Structures are given as structure tokens and as C-alpha cells.
Chains A and B, each alone.
Chain A
Amino acid sequence: MVSFELSDEQKLLRDTCRDFALTVMRKYDRQSDESGEVPQDIVKQGHGLGLTTGYIPESYGGPGGELSALNNVIILEELAYGNLSMTLTILAPSLMNVPLVIHGTEDQKKKYLGMNKPDQFQGLTAAFVEPTVRFDPETLRTTAADELDDFVLNGEKAFVAVADSAPAALVFAKKGSGEGLAGIDGFIVPAGGFTVKEREKNQGLRALKQFTVSLEGTRVPRTDVLRLSGGFTGLLARARTASIALTTGVCRAAYEYSLSYAKERIAFGEPIASRQSVAFTLAEMAMEVDAMRLMAWKSAWMIDKGMDAYKEASVGKRYAADAAMFVTRNATQILGGHGFTREHPVEMWYRDARSFSVSEFMAIV
């Protein structure tokens, strides 16, 4: 049966994350954007919520909750509603943990899931996107050559979150040639096995530390190969579903802010919200936010049912990324001159939302 009613636990997850978003994240969002860094205390507090470890089985040192894409999209919307850079920083370890929980061998889970500490943030991460013109997952250029007992990695990766402090990274690369997405596997590379180059200078997500990373003849033993056996599209579906939820959160923030601004801002004797051009725009923004959420939930629900959500997640991601530009641009527009200044957060959300159409995150739900 299809249901849109959240369970008591899901409501509590949502309310807890919303509270954290509003009372903790929002307080430091501008400061983080200006300084280009998420305060350590926020990372610590966010990590303390158990966002990236909750689904790790007890046998590997985790609390043993289920990995639920639906629970995670609910959480992600709320966190992104607080701040996107902080969310992506705090959740970076999931980039490695989620694929490991799904595809890892017993030994890999023991060794690498065990690196997560409940009270200390370990910036595990994943490297997927490459600095090429028209990046396409189907034609990854990072290669893994089979040489005796090891695989040898060569290539360059871009936008790798928290790479400067990551104890290990999951690198996606292609074995041999051809095969498209089905030929992609994950390779676990401890720090030292990859070279962290300069930090990316981005329009938005300014507090999220992303780096270009290169691999030059890095040897990965066979035991550290995460064999996806054609499961890469499943990970991509999770990644894109997460992306829809994150987009929903940023857009809801922009919509709500401009709505309350429009109700308070008096021009020509009445609040601007009572002007049709503004009211209609706000209504369309609200529609887009709702549409995105439905797409995220549907795709997540399919994943949890064990269904192939690759198409739904991809459609939703593309739709949400476009709609995000409409929503956040209009939020800055409704604020008029205030939308242009850095005294209001809408310009930041506009810059952050720009990332959705150009980025491919990895699986965090």
C-alpha cells in the first residue's frame, strides 16, 4: 500500500533535524559562507546526531539501524533547509559507508566501517566526478588496470569533499574498457594513496571543502576492491534521490524566506505579497517545492522496496535542479535589492542551488 503518512519515528527524525537546522546550522551559515569553512563544533554536533553511522550494523560497531532511503530523504531535506555546505560536510562519510554497507565484503566492512567513531568525525569520502568537459558517468576516465595481485589506479577526480582530512576515499573507476556503467567498481584508497591538489573555488557551497584529487599508479589490493557487480546504477539512483531531497530543502528555505518577506514588506501602502505578480510567483515556487519532495519520496520508496529507481531518480534530479533555479532566482527577485545583498540568505541559497545542475554527488541515502 502506498502511504504518505510518516511514522512517529520519521516525524521525530524530521523534527529533530529541523530543529538542528534552524537553531544550530542557520546561526552559522553566513559566517561559514564568508570564511569558507564549516565550524568544527557544527561538524561535531552534526556527527553526534549519528547521521552517517546510524545504519551501520552492530557487528561492525554501529548502532544497527536499517538503511532506509525514505528516512534519509526526510532527514536530508531538513538539513539542507538549514545549510547545504554543512550538510554535505557532515554527511561526507556516508559517501563511503553507504556503498560499503550495500556491497562490501565481510573484511571490508570490518576494516572500513570500523573506522567510523560515534564521538569523532572521520572525514571518509568518495571520489567520482572527473574534471573533463561534459563529464559522463558512462565514460569514466579513471582506470583500474589489473596487475598481478593489485589493481593500479590512474586518473584525476574533482569535487572530492573533505579530501584534505579524509583517512580513506572510495574511488570509482573502470576496469578494462567498455561495459558502460556496469563496468564501474569502487576502490578503497587510504590517505597517502591519492594526491590532494588545490581546493575547488566554487560559486556556491563555499563552506564545503572540495578538492581535485589525482591518482598516479596507486596500487589497490584485490581485497580492497568494492565489487559492484553492475550495482553502480543502484548507487547512482541513491545519489540522485539524495540530490532531489537536498534541492527540496534549499528551495523550501528560499521559498519560506521570501514568503514571509513579501508579507511584511510594504510598498505603495500594502504588503507586496498582495500584488498578484508576487503572489503568483510564490504560489509557483510552492508548487515546485512540493513536486520535488514527491519525486524524492517516490524514488526513495522504490529504493527501499528493492525496485530499480534509476529512471525516477534521474528524472527527479534533473527536474529539481532546473526548478531550483526558478525558485531561488525568484526568491532573490522578491527581495528586490535586498535579494542582492549578503545581509539576507537568499543570494547564498541561489548560489548553493546552482550546484545541483552541475554536480553529481554520490550515494548518501
Chain B
Amino acid sequence: MKILVTIKRVSDPEAKLKIRPDGTGIQTEGVKFVVNPFDEIAVEEALRIKEKHTGEVVVVSIGDKVVTEQIRAALAMGVDRGIFVNYTGSYDSYDVAGILAKVVEQEQPDIIILGKQAVDDDMGQAGFMLAEMLGYPQAAFASKVEISDDKKTAKVTREIDGGLETKEVGLPCIITADLRLNTPRYASLPNIMKAKQKPVKEVTVDALGAVVKPHVTIKKLTEPPKRKGGVKVESVQDLVGKLKNEAKVL
């Protein structure tokens, strides 16, 4: 059983970000980058499926050379090999799905697991688009994944308002991982040292035959307005007056 997991390099969710003066992006100097937490959950799930059903786990990441750091992090967790799609231009979710579709064509995995969204731009679209492009069934926002013994179907549970929804999809399929699917393992220190011996294949977008033509471009980033300090009011009348005249909510 072959499982393909996609990982994205994102700024550490704990980091305090600053926007570049020209508003085109964030300042990356001194910012720590990590594997998108939802993708880390996807990696963990793939490893658990492999441990139960045997097979191979492959990760793919798109970006410039630095994303190999995140690929190595996944290899240290136990992933067998990596694919690094070298691309430094701008792209949107549709482009990402297009590139991934080409990787899937080459690799022919039984299951493709993505994080439900990346925590940097929160687009959350690549999984759906990829399923559409490939014509594969998809089960999004998984909180539980069970592969049938004959490895032909996957039973995927998702948390919905007021309960759980369980779907069954035939393989090959697309699964996107939600927060409570699992808790990713720590890479053991010996595995970290061994990760450098595992193969990482570098490919270009052209070699894959993918076309990158962003439909969406980010025009400008702005910081949320600074919160102003509150005021204390003397009486209930004052409060009602302010709610009516200043806040205009009454």
C-alpha cells in the first residue's frame, strides 16, 4: 500500500509575524518555519496506516530549496522517501492541486493524505481541487480513518455539528486530516540522524508537465487594527448613552 502525504512549509504558528513594508508578504528573517501542523497529523496517520497494513509512505512538498528541511523532518518521523518539487514562483491553491495531480499520476498512490488546510494562508482548497482533477473520491476533515482488510476501501469519520459522520470511500482516495485525528509522534533522535540517508527526489514543475498560472494573487496584507484600551463609565446611564450614540448598537 502506497500513501502519499503532502507537506507545506509554514511559519511557526507561535511566531510573532511582521508584514513587509510593501505589504506583499511577511518578513521571513528570523522567523522559524515548521511543517504545517495539519500536514504533520497527515504524516502521522500515514505512518500508522503503514504500520498496520505495511507499505510505503512518500511525502511531497513544493517550494524552493528550504522546504527540504521540512521533508527531512517528515523523513525523521519515519516516512520512507521524499519528493521535492522545486518551484520558486508564485502559485495559488489550484496550481498546487495541478502539480500534486501530476505527482499522483507518476506515483500512483493508494491513498493521498493532506492537512485540511495550511495554517499560513488558511485556504483549505488544495485537497478538494486535487480530488476533482483526479476524479478520486474524497473524505475531508477526517477525525478517524480505518482501512479495510482487503485494502480496497477506507472508512473515514468526520466531526460535524452535534455528532459524527462516517463515510466509506473506495481507494484510491483523497483524505484531509483534521486536528483530532491523532497526535503526531516525536521523531526519535536516531531517526533524525538517519533521515539524511533517505532519498529525496528533486523534480521541476516543467518536468512533471504541470502548468502554473495563478488565478488568485495576493494584493496586499495588512495587520489587524490595534485594539484600543477600554474606558470605565460612571453609571448605567453613561453606558447606555455610549452604546446608543458611540457604538450605535442600541
Contact = CB atoms under 8 A, between A and B. Distances in A.
Interface of A: 8-9, 11-13, 16, 19-20, 45, 48-51, 53-54, 62-66, 75
A49 B72 contact: no
A75 B189 CA distance: 9
Contacts of A50: 188-191
A120 to B, nearest CB: 14
Given A8-B72, A9-B195, A65 B189 contact: yes
Nearest to B185: A48
A65 B190 CA distance: 6
B186 A49 contact: yes
A229 B195 CA distance: 36
B193 A16 contact: no
Given A16-B186, A19-B186, A9 B196 contact: yes
Contacts of A19: 186
Contacts of B189: 13, 16, 49-51, 54, 65, 75
Q: Which 9 A-B pairs have the closest CB atoms?
A: A63-B190, A50-B188, A54-B190, A50-B190, A50-B189, A65-B193, A54-B189, A12-B192, A65-B190
B43 to A, nearest CB: 14
Contacts of A64: 190
Interface in B166-217: 186-196
Nearest to A46: B186
A170 B191 CA distance: 28
Contact of A49 (B73, B188, B194, B195): B188
B194 A13 contact: no
A19 B69 CA distance: 17
Contacts of A8: 69, 72, 196
Contacts of A66: 193
Q: Which of B69, B72, B189, B194: most chain A Cβ within 10 A? A: B189
Contacts, number: 54
Given A54-B193, A63-B194, A65-B193, A12 B188 contact: no
A54 B186 CA distance: 15
B188 A13 contact: no
SS of B interface (majority): helix
Contacts of B72: 8-9, 12
B62 interface: no
Nearest to B68: A8
A11 B186 CA distance: 14
B49 interface: no
Contacts of A16: 76, 186-187, 189, 192
Given A12-B69, A65-B189, A75-B189, 19 more contacts: A8-B72, A8-B196, A9-B72, A9-B192, A9-B195, A9-B196, A12-B72, A12-B192, A13-B192, A16-B186, A19-B186, A48-B186, A50-B188, A50-B190, A54-B189, A54-B193, A63-B190, A63-B191, A64-B190
A22 to B, nearest CB: 10
Nearest to B192: A12
A42 B77 CA distance: 19
Nearest to A22: B14
A45 B188 CA distance: 10
23 contacts: A8-B72, A9-B193, A9-B195, A11-B69, A12-B72, A12-B76, A13-B193, A16-B187, A20-B186, A49-B188, A50-B188, A50-B189, A50-B190, A51-B189, A54-B188, A54-B189, A54-B193, A62-B190, A63-B190, A63-B191, A65-B193, A65-B194, A75-B189
A8 B69 CA distance: 7
A53 B189 CA distance: 9
Contacts of A48: 186, 188
A39 to B, nearest CB: 17
Nearest to B32: A15
A48 to B, nearest CB: 7
A54 B178 CA distance: 33
